[in-house]
Structure 1
Amino acid sequence: MSRPQAISLMIVVTLLWSMAGVVTRHLDTARSFEVTFWRSGFCVIALAFALTLTRGPGLWRKLLHPSKVIWISGICWSIMFTAFMVAITLTTVANVLIVMALGPLITALFTHFFLHHRLATTTWLAIAVAALGIVWMFLYDKDATFSMIGSLVSLGVPVAAAINFTLLQHIGLDRTITPDNKPVQDMLQAVLIGAMLSTLAMLPLAWPFQASPHDLGLLSLLGIFQLATPCLLVVRLTKELSAPELSLLGQLEVIFGVTWAWLWAGEQLSIHTLSGGLLVLGALVANELFRIFRRNRAERLLR
């Protein structure tokens, strides 16, 4: 895959991710936990089909005895799947996506405190600016309490993602690749386990089901094309693009998602949400650009 093809495909991934909010706003009767149940359930079906097709029946034998790394990652994925959809039903799409965008900075903090990775001054500055942006979003919000509850739930997504990455680095990421660069652990199994755990956890809370056939059609769209397909594509793209590049391109989800919610779901952005969100996104983009610049400069010095 060429570099322009990889970048274009990552933009497609962010477009797929970004449709969750606007699609959820067009549901008829399904609410909260049931929305999460059906989305995760359809994701399980799609991933099971795709992975069985590519991995063969041996996939299911391996799932009976997953490693500790796979289990930890799967639990984190389940929290991410669940917290995101519940949060979307509690606050605006913009609030959820902006809070989720904190993921790279939370991960940087976790690796600093738990793995003793050194953080650049620009990263500390980005964390401070992003935190200021989040505070500004809610400082003058007339529905601050309502927005805060949904945003706190959505915070589970970047926190779980940060725990996932940090723990994998600490206990197993170095052992998921053999000396000849072949994967020992199939991390897509973790995504499948996460979707299964999310579905099972939501089942008793979603009962009795109220989703209409119209709702089931939309939720199957989310499970297959907004969740399962991007997961498969991102794993492939990790072989083509660096982590900072993936993180930087991933921020397009916020722009796309907020735009769709504004155009097709009638969600209006307050001036405080807009200015606070711009602070968060500006801090993230600037930090990732500095990381890419530092990496390229280090590579040139080594030549």
Structure 2
Amino acid sequence: MKLTHTRAVFLMVAVTLMWSIAGVITRHLEHARSFEVTFWRSFFTVLSLLVILPFFQGRQVFAKIRTGGWPLWLSGLCWSVMFTAFMVALTLTSVASVLVTMALGPFLTALIARIAIGHRIPARTWLAILAAGAGIAYMYGVQIEAGRFTGTLVALCVPLAAGVNWTINQRAHAHGNRVDLVPAVLVGAAISSVLTLPLAMPLQASAHDVALLGLLGLVQLAIPCVLAVLCARVLHAPEMSLLGLLEVIFGILLAWLGAGEVPRPAVLTGGALVIGALVVNELVGWRQRV
């Protein structure tokens, strides 16, 4: 699939909209909770990708998994942490808190890459990290006082795993072993479903819940992950980062309108600092490169 820049932008907007439906849908589950929610979504993601990936990449996709080596499997493990932590966090705290915490991803990635592979961090990014850190510290502080800290702490595992994943890919690429992210997503979903099944027992999801979680596996995860990889081949990293922030906005709005979950003032204030820092950092970096 060949995309023009304009089509890639619109497609990435559609991707973020698909990503953002997880929060509002989990608020309409009847009986499924915690690890069972993760299991069913990961399980249906595996089924979906087993159909989608051969369509896009042919049967060679399975050969890539067999020959991908340790970078692909470590990347898959990171994806499994992201899938699991995200859904568990949604069952423990508000959608807004989870999404704002995930917006830390680019900054945590920069820090992990600096420590692990010596990737240089510009001064503007250090300032942005401090501003974003202040926003998250404020949001976390208020939640600790209110006794709602656990879910946000679990959500922090998502951007941490994403940062490790990116660093693994960068290190592998530097050594001539480029990791195909799409098969790694399949590996991650498979690991997540296998590891969470025992924790999900006894399964209590109703047919209604299974249908909604099947929808998440296909529409919220499998399809947009494949499309995002296609967009990344056309769009620059700053564009991907900025467009990715739409997931935070869409997700909070959908949870507000679709489930009556009004974001707390502390989350909005902290989120404004995090997102503002990311936007300014990416725009300045983009302008310097142009």
Mark yes or no: TM-score above 0.5: yes
Separation in 1, partners of 2:138, 2:15: 30
Note the residue ranges of structure 2 that are not aligned, 5 or more in a row.
none
Count of aligned pairs between the two proteins: 288
2:165 is aligned with what amino acid? N
CA deviations over 1:107-153 (Å, ceiling 9, x no partner): 1111222222221111111111111111111333476332x111111
CA deviations over 1:166-220 (Å, ceiling 9, x no partner): 122113355246xxxxxxx533111100000000001101111111111111101
In the TM superposition, what is the alpha-carbon distance from 1:271 to its structure 2 partner? Answer: 1.6
Q: Which residue of 1 aligns with 2:238?
A: 244
Return closer, same or farther for 1:273/1:155 CA change in 2, 3 Å cut-off.
same
State the TM-score, normalized to the length of structure 1: 0.91
Q: Which residue of 2 aligns with 1:149?
A: 150
Question: In structure 2, which of residues 16, 30, 33 is the aligned counterpart of residue 28 of structure 1?
Answer: 30
Q: How does 1:1-303 map to 2 (within 5 A)?
A: 1-141=3-143, 144-146=146-148, 148-172=149-173, 175-176=176-177, 185-296=179-290
In the TM superposition, what is the alpha-carbon distance from 1:71 to its structure 2 partner? Answer: 0.7
In the TM superposition, what is the alpha-carbon distance from 1:60 to its structure 2 partner? Answer: 3.2
In the TM superposition, what is the alpha-carbon distance from 1:49 to its structure 2 partner? Answer: 0.6
Is the contact made by 2:65 and 2:72 (CA closer than 8 Å) also made in structure 1?
A: no
In the TM superposition, what is the alpha-carbon distance from 1:56 to its structure 2 partner? Answer: 3.2
Is the contact made by 2:132 and 2:273 (CA closer than 8 Å) also made in structure 1?
A: yes
Larger mean CA deviation between 118-127 and 197-206 belongs to 118-127
Separation in 2, partners of 1:60, 1:227: 19
SS at match of 2:92: coil
State the TM-score, normalized to the length of structure 2: 0.95
Larger radius of gyration: 1
Note the residue ranges of structure 1 that are not aligned, 5 or more in a row.
178-184, 297-303
Separation in 2, partners of 1:64, 1:213: 35
